[in-house]
Amino acid sequence: MDVDVGAVVSELYGLRPREFVAARDAHAARARQRKQADAARRIGSLRRPTLALWAANRLSRARPDQARALQDLGAQLRAAHRDLDGAQLRALAGEQHRVIAALAQEAAALARDAGERISDSVLQEVEQVLHGVLADEDAGREWAAGHLSAAPEPTVGFAGLEPSPAASAAAARTATRTRKPPASHERAPEPARRRPDPDPTQHPASDPAPGSVARKRQERITAAREAAAQAEADLAQARSDLADATGERDRTRAAAAELADQVRQLRLRLEDAEATAAAARQRYDRAEDLARRAEQAAKSAAAKARAAAT
C-alpha cells in the first residue's frame, strides 16, 4: 500500500514540535521499506515547525471559521491596496491589528491546553506569522490547511502587490484635480526694475523683499518634505532589515532545535545499540563457557573409555 504523503504531512504538523522529528523519521523509514523513494524523500525533507508555527497551525485546525475569516480579511486588504482605496485600507488596518491580537491569544490558550507554554516572545512570533499569512495568499492557504511549515517572509504592507493600472490612473487624476495653486503671497514676484545703487549715506532697508521671504519659505518647505521622505525611506529600510534578521534568527533557531532533536535520537539509538551489544556479549560468554565444559566432558569420557578397554 502506497504511503499517503498528504495524510502524513497533516498528521506530523498536528504533533507538538518535540514529537515531530521521531514521527517524521519513522514515516520516512516506512516509505523506504516499501520501496517508495520519492515519498521517503518528501517526508524526510519536512521541516520541524517552531513553537510559534505549531501554535498557529493548531489555531487554524481548531478554529477553521476564524481561519477563513482571517483569509477573507487578507483578500479585502489586498483588493483595497490594488484599488488604492485609502479609506478602506485605514478601516481594515485597524481591524487587522484587533483580529490578529485576538487570534494570537486564542492560539496561546490552545497551546496551553495541549501542554505547551507560550512565552511573550513566542506570542509575538505567532502574531508575525498571522500577519504574514494575511499578506501572502499562498501561505494563508497552507496555514488554513493546518500545515504551514515555515514562517512567511515578513513584509512591509503588501510588498510586491502593485496597484491596478486603473487605480493608478485614477489616483493621478485625483492628485491633479486636488493640487492647490500657490498662495498669492507665495507667487514669484515680477522681475524688478534695476534701481540705482543705494546711497551709502542712507540707512539700508530693514525688511527683506516679499519675494525673498516667499522663496525662503518655499525652500524650507521643500527641504522639510525631502527630509520627511528620506526619513520614511530609512524607516522602511530599517523595517526590512529587522524583518530579514528576525526571519534568519527564526530559521536558525528552528534548525538548531531540529539538530538537537536529531542528536537526542542518535544518542538514544546508541544507548539501545550498546545495550544490545552487551546482551549479545553475555550470551556469547555463556555459550563459550558451555562449549568449554562440553569439550572437557568429552575428553574425560574418552579417557575413561580407553581405560576401560585396556
259-270 pLDDT, tens digit each: 887 888 788 788
Res 302: pLDDT:
81
Give 150's DSSP letter.
S
**pTM score, two decimals?**
0.50
pLDDT at 63 over 90: yes
pLDDT > 70 fraction of the chain, expressed in percent and rounded:
73
User: Are residues 16 and 35 in contact, defined by beta-carbon separation less than 8 angstroms?
Assistant: no
Res 229: pLDDT:
64
C-alpha R_g of the chain? 38
Q: Please report which helix (H) or strand (E) contains residue 32, including its range.
A: helix 17-33
The three-class DSSP label of residue 36 is coil
pLDDT at 285 over 60: yes
The arithmetic mean of pLDDT across residues 228-249, rounded, is 68
**Residue 129: which of 110, 93, 155 has the closest Cα?**
155
* Helix %, strand %, coil % of the chain (to 5): 75, 0, 25
In the block, cell 569439550 appears at 295
- In degrees and rounded to multiples of 5, residue 13 shows phi and psi of -80, 0
pLDDT at 87 over 80: no
User: Are residues 47 and 254 in contact, defined by beta-carbon separation less than 8 angstroms?
Assistant: yes
The arithmetic mean of pLDDT across residues 154-176, rounded, is 44
Rounded CA separation 264/132 (Å): 32
- pLDDT-derived band at 201, boundaries 50, 70, 90: very low
User: Are residues 148 and 57 in contact, defined by beta-carbon separation less than 8 angstroms?
Assistant: yes
Res 134: pLDDT:
87
